[in-house]
Amino acid sequence: MHQITFYLDFISPYAYLAFEELPRALQGLSYQVHYKPVFLGGLLKHNAVLGPAEVPPKRHWIYRHVQWLAQRNGVALDFPAVHPFNPLGLLRLAVATDAQGQPNRYVCETLFRHVWVGGADAGDAQRLATVAQDLAPVQDPGSDAVKAQLKTHADEAIAREVFGVPSFEVDGKVFWGLDALPMLRAYLGGDASLVGSDADTRWNRVQGWPSGIPLRSA
């Protein structure tokens, strides 16, 4: 059985759509998913990249695109009252629902829908308190231990060359983005272009591909 680590941040509409699409995309395959919340802002800062919503034309496009994708896929999607927002409260709550900091699918579904269904303020303190009561965390979301677990997830993600969400790591390979789900399925299904020594060589050799412009070291 394949073990998939799903790195996510509830602020991302693409992560929400990928979360909803994942069971259908991988239907019929044998796999287990481990959900690891990460602070997208931290990944972007590490890689010196602006957030998508920090570039106004890109922000407008993304919002149009995800609305279209949601409608096409039959997924309920309402933009929260304010976006982007600070997602740390939601991320810490997710981590706090499990002693090892790995929330289950129900927790992730609840928090994604807290943000992306209904159009309310995702960062509202009263709403956050209500969803926290419903999820009954086993740790204090505001504790140093939970904050440390969240940081550990981010450090692990960065070490595995995760640079954004949604990202899916399996067998040391990272598949990034909603549109990577077909490629992930192909890999899990044993596609010869992705599995085997020749495929591994092709996968790894891009890391040393010459560039005509200076590249920033991670």
Which residue has 């904050």 as its token pair?
A: 147
Domain encompassing residue 35: 2-208
Which residue type sits at 151? K
Rounded to whole angstroms, how far apart are CA atoms 82 and 205?
42
Is residue 216 a part of any domain in this protein? Answer: no
What's the Rg (C-alpha) of the chain?
18
Say what the pLDDT of residue 215 is: 75
CA distance 150 to 140: 13
Q: Is 213 among the domain residues? A: no
- The torsion angles phi and psi of 106, rounded to 5 degrees, stand at -60, -45
pLDDT at 123 over 70: yes
- What does the pLDDT read at residue 125? 96
For residue 218, tell me if it sits in a domain.
no
Considering only CA atoms, which of 29, 32, 27, 28 is closest in space to residue 4? Answer: 32
Please provide residue 46's backbone torsions phi and psi, each rounded to the nearest 5 degrees.
-60, -35
CA distance 40 to 8: 8
- CATH code for the domain of 68: 3.40.30.10
* pLDDT tens per residue, range 156-187: 999 999 999 999 999 999 999 999 999 999 99
- With bands split at pLDDT 50, 70 and 90, how would you rate the model's confidence at 217? low
Q: What is the dihedral of CA 90, 102, 45, 13, to 10 degrees?
A: -60
**What is the share, in percent, of the chain residues with pLDDT greater than 90?**
95
Whether 145 is covered by a domain: the verdict is yes
The answer as to whether 217 is a domain residue is no
Per-residue pLDDT at 55 exceeds 90: yes
Percent of the chain with pLDDT over 70: 99
Number of domains in the chain: 1
d(CA 152, CA 36): 10
Residue type, 39: F
Please state, rounded to an integer, the average pLDDT across all residues of the chain.
Answer: 96
On whether residue 33 sits in a domain, the answer given is yes
What's the number of CA atoms in the CB half-sphere (13 Å) around residue 38?
Answer: 31
On the CB side of 25, CA atoms within 13 Å amount to 19
